[in-house]
Amino acid sequence: MLVRLNSFDSTTLSFPSFAGNNEKIYKLELITELADDQDRTNDTLRMNVYTYTTPQKPLFERFTNTSCVPCAAADPYMHQIYETYLYNIGFIVYHTWWPSQNDPFYVYNIPQNQARTYYYDVNGVPWVWINGVVDASFQYLNWQNLVEAEMNYRKTPIIITFNSANSYVGSSGNGQISFNINQIGEMEDEIYKIRVAIVEDSIYYSAENGTNFHLMTFRTLIEDSLIPQTGQNITKTYNFTFKPDLSVPDNPDSVNFDKLVAVVFIQRDSDKSVWAVDVYKFETMEVVEGGNDKNLFSLKEKRFLFNLSERKIVNVKIYNVSGSLVIDKSFDVKGKFEWMPDLNKGIYIYKVEIGGKKWEGKLLYY
């Protein structure tokens, strides 16, 4: 299409509709030519149109610090998104070294917390990036709107499928994550990064800023390269080890292996855009054995099951994700005992103590 314009003229161009094929990349180019144009560097507009059809889960990367008071004010807004979508969003919460360098979640993995902070040039907290390209900043009132806009808009050329049989965390802290990458759509001819963030979900820790529950806290990052090729279906398997082996509740310097989640995403470093996201919750054994008490405590379909060979006091506390205590119960138990808490729809954290032994975990009520 050719349109002639004089200097300072403007017009609107309309082009015939174009029905492209799915899972393709189409390149559009608009060129202007003016005889007396003194700056020809802005005469060409180029853009890509992607005809992907598979919805992409959003990647929600948050930066915070346990001494940051505004971060605590932002917590309920992230908690609301988490309660609504849970693992349908890839949450990763990094901890920075300001206001306090003593933030225990920052100290646990200083190099990688710093690396991701520098990657996005973050210089204030709270701060959020969505899918690597949407700067949600500290405007936490708008975080959910931006997330949902990305859920409705963004599509992916890659399907990630986890291999549950080969993904685990052992009692010693040694773990493995295995998944398939099926590239169903065209991608630009660049090298992309496969990133696997291992996060610890729902940590109970009374932070200096008043935050008690810490969701999807970053622990370690595995990185690899991906060379795109339409139609490829490859398997990736990675091993990891946590230090120290201290699965102790309420200790921010340790890692509770029962709460680990893998957030896998494909990212292009040239513009930081994210092209695929998926989330895997590592399976753990629900039944815990202690001493001579078989099945001392277990959970089944929201019911707390106890089986004690000796009479003991059982203490159960349940919190909502904002850290508020909603149930505080004690039971005198010998033999088998079953209890189901009366809770509204939502996500909760439980803490159980029996004779000095402690357990904690997450309850989902839908």
DSSP string, 186-197: ---SS-EEEEEE
Question: Between 266 and 340, whose confidence is greater?
Answer: 266
Query: Which has the higher per-residue pLDDT, 16 or 115?
Result: 115
Residue 94: beta bridge partners?
Answer: 63
**Which two three-digit tokens encode residue 187?**
């991608």
The chain-wide mean pLDDT, for the chain, equals 89
| Residue 9 DSSP code | -
Which span out of 52-61, 257-266, 275-284, 315-324 was modeled with the highest average pLDDT? 52-61
- CA dihedral defined by 122, 127, 129, 130, rounded to 10 degrees? 180
Contacting residues for 285 by C-beta, under 8 A, at least 6 apart: none
Q: Decide if 237 contacts 176 (C-beta within 8 A).
A: yes
Share of the chain above pLDDT 70, in %: 92
Identify the weakest region by mean pLDDT among 54-58, 88-92, 351-355.
Answer: 351-355
pLDDT tens per residue across span 271-315: 999 999 999 998 753 333 334 444 577 777 678 888 888 899 999
- Residue 293: predicted pLDDT: 44
As a 3-state breakdown, the chain gives helix, strand, coil percent values, each rounded to 5, of 15, 45, 40
Question: Across 4-150, where does the E strand assignment appear?
Answer: 25-31, 44-50, 54-55, 59-64, 90-95, 127-130, 134-137
Phi and psi at residue 90, to the nearest 5°: -90, 90
Confidence of residue 1 (pLDDT cuts 50, 70, 90): low
CB 123 within 8 A of CB 104: no
- In the chain the domains, ranked by start, together with CATH numbers, are 55-281 (2.60.40.10), 289-365 (2.60.40.3080)
Distance CA(266)–CA(190), nearest Å, equals 12
Task: Calculate mean pLDDT across residues 120-125.
Answer: 98
**Could you tell me the pLDDT band of residue 244, with boundaries at 50, 70 and 90?**
low
Res 70: pLDDT: 97
Give residue 29's pLDDT: 87
Residue 295, sorted as left (phi over 0), alpha (psi -120 to 50) or beta, turns out to be left
The answer for 67, left when phi > 0, alpha when psi is -120 to 50, beta otherwise, is: alpha
Confidence of residue 251 (pLDDT cuts 50, 70, 90): low
Residue 43: predicted pLDDT: 82
pLDDT average, residue stretch 124-147? 98
This prediction has a pTM of: 0.83
**Residue 303: CB partners within 8 Å, gap ≥ 6?**
338, 339, 340
Contacting residues for 291 by C-beta, under 8 A, at least 6 apart: none
* pLDDT number for residue 124: 97
Mapped onto helix, strand or coil, the DSSP state of residue 257 is helix
Banded model confidence at residue 222, pLDDT cuts 50, 70, 90: very high
Q: Is residue 107 scored above 70 in pLDDT?
A: yes
Q: What pLDDT, on the 0 to 100 scale, is given for residue 215? A: 94
